[in-house]
Amino acid sequence: MNTKQEPQSSHMPPRLTSPSWFAWLVIVVFAFLFFQGFSSAEISLERLVKGARNLSTFLGQAIPPDWSNMDVIANAMLETLYMAIVGVTVGIVLSVPFALLASRNTAPHPIVRTITRFMIATMRTIPDLIWALIFVVAVGLGPLAGILAIILDTIGFAARFFSERIEEVRPGPANALTASGAGRVSVIMGAILPETLASMSATSLYSVEKAIRSAVTLGLVGAGGIGVELSTAMRLFQFDKAFSIIIVVLLVVIGFEQLSSMIRKRVI
Partner 1 sequence: MSSITIRNLNKYYGALHVLRSLDLSIASGEGVVLLGANGCGKSTLMKCLNGLETPQSGSIVIDQNDVTTAKGLRLRSIRRDIGVVFQQFNLVENLTVFQNVLYGAMGQRRGGLLTVWNSLAPKDTREKAMHCLSRVRMADKASSRCRDLSGGQQQRVAIARMLMQSPKIILADEPVASLDPKAGIEVMDLLWEVVREHNMTVFCTLHQLDLAQNYADRIVGMKAGQIVFDSSNSSADKESLAQLYQGDTRVDGASSHENEYAAPNNRPAEIA
The one among 54, 56, 68, 186 contacting partner 1 by CB under 8 A: 186
Q: Does 56 bind partner 1 (CB under 8 A)?
A: no
Q: Does 112 bind partner 1 (CB under 8 A)?
A: no
Q: DSSP class of residue 191?
A: I
Residue nearer to partner 1 on the CB measure, 54 or 105: 105
Please report how close the Cβ of residue 99 comes to partner 1 at its closest, in angstroms.
Answer: 16
Residue nearer to partner 1 on the CB measure, 197 or 251: 197
Residue nearer to partner 1 on the CB measure, 198 or 259: 198
Query: Burial, 131: exposed, middle or buried (Cβ in 10 Å; 0-12, 13-18, 19+)?
Result: buried
Q: Which amino acid is it at 206?
A: Y
From the CA atom positions of the chain, what is the Rg in Å?
A: 26
By rule CB under 8 A, what string of x and - marks binding of each residue 188-207 to partner 1?
xxxx--xx-xx---------
Q: Which amino acid is it at 46?
A: E
Please report how close the Cβ of residue 268 comes to partner 1 at its closest, in angstroms.
Answer: 13
Q: Does 109 bind partner 1 (CB under 8 A)?
A: no
249 contact partners, CB below 8 Å, separation of at least 6: 77, 216, 226, 230
Q: Select from 66, 69, 73 the least CA-distant residue to 225.
A: 73
- Residue 136 CA to residue 145 CA, distance in Å, equals 5
Residue nearer to partner 1 on the CB measure, 47 or 184: 184
What is the binding site for partner 1 (CB under 8 A)? 104-106, 170-191, 194-195, 197-198
